[in-house]
Homo-oligomer: A and B are copies of this chain.
Amino acid sequence: MLNTALLGAGRIAGVHATAISTNPGSRLVAVSDINTEAAGKLAAQYGAEARTTDAILADKSIDAVLIATSTDTHSDLIERATAAGKAVLCEKPVDLSLARAQACQKAVAHNGRPVMIGFNRRFDPNFSALKAALDKGEIGKPELLSITSFDPAPPPVAYIKVSGGLFRDMMIHDFDMANFLMGAAPVSVSAVGSSIVDPAIGQAGDVDTAVVTLTYSDGRIAVIKNSRRAVYGYDQRVELLGSEGLLQAQNMLENTVVKSTTAGVTGAKPTYFFLERYMPAYAAEWAAFVLAVNSGSTLPVTLDDGVAALAMAEAATQSARTGGPVTLASVLG
């Protein structure tokens, strides 16, 4: 039984609290948040206690912490929690600064505790089924990967300003998906981006529409498309061409009803956003963490994976500014 504390009590923390409570191998014992009222409310709902982060880290009976606080606190909390001997599952991204994330990576290596980064999409039943088919060789050798990842609507500009930009905030999921499926880091990253959804996003120095091309040492290619607005819902698709076929993971739909009228044949929209689409993925992610920590086996996503995706975001951000390809080696220093 993994005694778990939750750092953070916001919306995504609520999702994690359910996963921790319903998993037979873990128990939610404490919740902390700078908003103590939110921490208290969430803790009460699941029969846990609201405590300070310091108290949680000092409590030897707590085995694991799930970090769902704001991004700027991730690196510090990972370092402190591992130093205190906890196993850690931390929401993505590790940090907005690649240098800071790399420092955290070194600290954790020193502490020797397991740290998993919350790339929840790896645990989506569709993407994991695609990966399983790939690993079984069902399409031969992968050659050309395409990831489509559109949000239903752009976030407030206030959020954009502190987000680190589309490549670090949004496309980082897709960079990790590319690493997950291609099984290797790319050699170079070429990005184009523009602000055509909302001019205010452009004025805030960010893009809302972007295409990134990744090239690999063996000639394989990946392309990622992002938009901050798909009015029909959360569009999350992957397709991978291989030497012996194509694998596609398509959208989940709200229901399976199809209506045929003089206007055409109409089905339901994709599930609206990440909470609807990825709810099963969050539960599966937590289950995988619990299983690995309790059994001492390898984590399915590591802090190294978090740093790798962040490096790709850094390269894409540079490429979108300069226009030319940026090698991963150049940003990893």
| A54 CB within 8 Å of chain B | no
In the assembled complex, the Cα of A190 lies from the Cα of B267 at a distance in Å of 33
Q: Residue A266 contacts which of B150, B197, B213, B263 (CB distance < 8 angstroms)?
A: B263
**Interface contact A194-B223, CB-CB below 8 Å:** no
Out of B146, B232, B255, which one reaches A126, CB within 8 Å?
A: B255
CB distance A231 to B215 under 8 Å? no
Q: Are A246 and B264 CB-contacts (below 8 A) given A150-B241, A190-B213?
A: no
Kindly state the separation between the CA atoms of A292 and B315 in the bound complex, as whole angstroms.
50
* Separation of A21 and B307 alpha carbons in the complex (Å): 40
Contact A227:B213 (CB < 8 A) given known A143-B197, A249-B256, A268-B129: no
* B257 pairs with A130, CB closer than 8 A: yes
Contact present for A230 and B255 (CB under 8 Å): no
Write the nearest CB–CB distance from A125 to chain B, whole angstroms. Answer: 5
Q: Verify if A49 is at the interface (C-beta below 8 Å from B).
A: no
Within 8 A of B (CB), among A46-61: none
Tell me whether A295 is interfacial, beta carbon within 8 Å. Answer: no
A73 within 8 Å of B by Cβ?
Answer: no
Asked if residues B323 and A211 are in contact (CB atoms below 8 Å), the reply is no
B259 touching A269 by the CB < 8 A rule?
A: no
Residues in B neighbouring A204, C-beta threshold 8 A: none
A136: min CB distance to chain B, Å: 11
Contact of A223 among B143, B188, B211 (CB under 8 A): B211
User: How far is the CB of A220 from the nearest CB of chain B, in Å?
Assistant: 6
Contact of A246 among B188, B210, B232, B248 (CB under 8 A): B232
Complex contact A133–B259 (CB within 8 A): yes
Closest Cβ–Cβ distance, residue A21 to chain B (whole Å): 10
B243 touching A229, Cβ below 8 Å:
yes
Question: With the chains together, A140 CA to B324 CA distance in Å?
Answer: 31
Judge whether A192 and B194 touch: CB under 8 Å.
no
- Which of B129, B209, B232, B243 makes the CB contact (< 8 A) with A143? B209
- Check B139 against A257 for contact (C-beta < 8 Å): no
Q: Contact: B221 with A192, CB < 8 Å?
A: yes
Complex CA distance for A257 and B138, rounded to whole angstroms = 12
A252 and B256 within 8 A (CB): yes
How many Å lie between the Cα of A229 and that of B246 in the bound state?
Answer: 11
Nearest residue (CB) in B for A245 is: B261
A→B interface (CB under 8 Å): 125-126, 129-130, 133, 138-139, 143-144, 146, 148, 150, 188, 190, 192-197, 209-211, 213, 215, 218-221, 223, 225, 227, 229-233, 235, 241, 243-270, 323-325
Q: List 25 A-B contacts (CB under 8 A).
A: A125-B254, A126-B257, A138-B259, A139-B261, A143-B196, A143-B209, A188-B323, A193-B221, A194-B215, A194-B221, A196-B219, A211-B223, A223-B225, A231-B262, A233-B260, A245-B259, A245-B262, A247-B258, A249-B255, A250-B257, A262-B269, A264-B267, A265-B266, A265-B270, A323-B325
